[in-house]
Structure 1
Amino acid sequence: MSVTAAARPIRVALVDDYDVVLTGLAHMFDRYRDRVLVCEIDANADLSDEVDIVLYDSFAQPESDHQELRGLVKNPRASRVVVYTWNFQPELVDSARGQGIHGYLSKTLPARDLVAALESVHAGETVISDPPKRAGSALGLDWPGRHEGFTDRESEILALITQGKNNADVARLTYLSPNTVKSYIRSIYRKIDVSSRTQAVLWGVDHGFAPDHHRIDHWLGGP
């Protein structure tokens, strides 16, 4: 993908409920500051909250409910909205496109390809990544629990459990089978040395797995 860089860096707001996810994603752009200016939600005062692209990271958020996407697409402060995810179920992609998003990008993209994709979106294209052939995260990306040995999928599942989702909810939201969800939960329990869901939730709350919904509310017109 070859796109001429804009005269000024593209202003990109990162939208996610988790500080560690935002920080890890922001660091992916460190080498591309001449092309991408990262604006975290609570640090946009100098830009009056007006950005070229909102990059919506779907970590541990219910992708089957696109209320947030609808709000972001309608928000006049954001010229374009891009979903950043590892979940490429066809119905999710079709639903997001129906909401009017301008890109649906894989978390397996290396930073250079992610920047190029954002430049294409900024130039007016709609960019949909090819579904990843296998699970994996882009180099430099971060998520809660990574340093405790969790995979990104395990972290997403623990975050959903910490939000109060039951196994059926988790399976529906992640498009995994109930047995696969149970396997992930058993692995999570072993890694944090707990034996019950209550203990896992308490551990999650203490280790950054409780979302800060204010970040999304801010972009949807809340306080």
Structure 2
Amino acid sequence: MIRVLICDDQWIVCEGLEAILSAESDIDVVGLAQDGVEALAKIPQVNPDVVLMDLKMPVMNGVQATRKIKSLYPAVKVRILTTYGDDEWVFDAVRNGAAGYLLKGTPRAQLVAAVKGTAAGESFVDPKVAGRLLTHFAVQGAPEADSTLLDTLTEREREVLTLLAQGKSNAEIAKDLYLSPGTVRNYISAILTKLDVTDRTQAALLALRHGLG
């Protein structure tokens, strides 16, 4: 069972997300919060696996809350879900440890898949903002990487990385390449090690910078 804490300053949004996610047999919405401070207070009480976090909130915004959560509770995964595609908010969310970024126009099925993927350790950035995110990090020089790192990958690892950079989940990559999900997880673990990055988002950005995806 995936335990989810929802944080959004609009109560109707919280309740709407709760209704969508609670309909899933393997998701349990364990709490609702209306700002980052309230979310931080509830985490030790409800022990979520995933925090679904809005960005622009009073008292403590989503970027600040993400930074605090990842500092105090590193095992808790934060998935950003917001109406805002503002570049700096996107960049800050990723820099501060967000496992991914979705806009609130995301279809229901993709939202559910994103929450499940986040719990499984997957990262995803909405395609509507991924291009600007890539451009920003390329200009800023982060994540730092040399194209020679890609040369250390096997042909199959490059195939997996290309699909990862397209935002596909482990299950989708497994289906496309006729592999088991466990084998895909092993490939991704090897890819992260070889590319010297800590998560899928950084690996995807590196791949996109060098023409994969």
Task: State the TM-score, normalized to the length of structure 2.
Answer: 0.49
Structure with bigger RCO (C-alpha 8 Å, 6+ apart) = 1
Greater share of residues in helix: 2
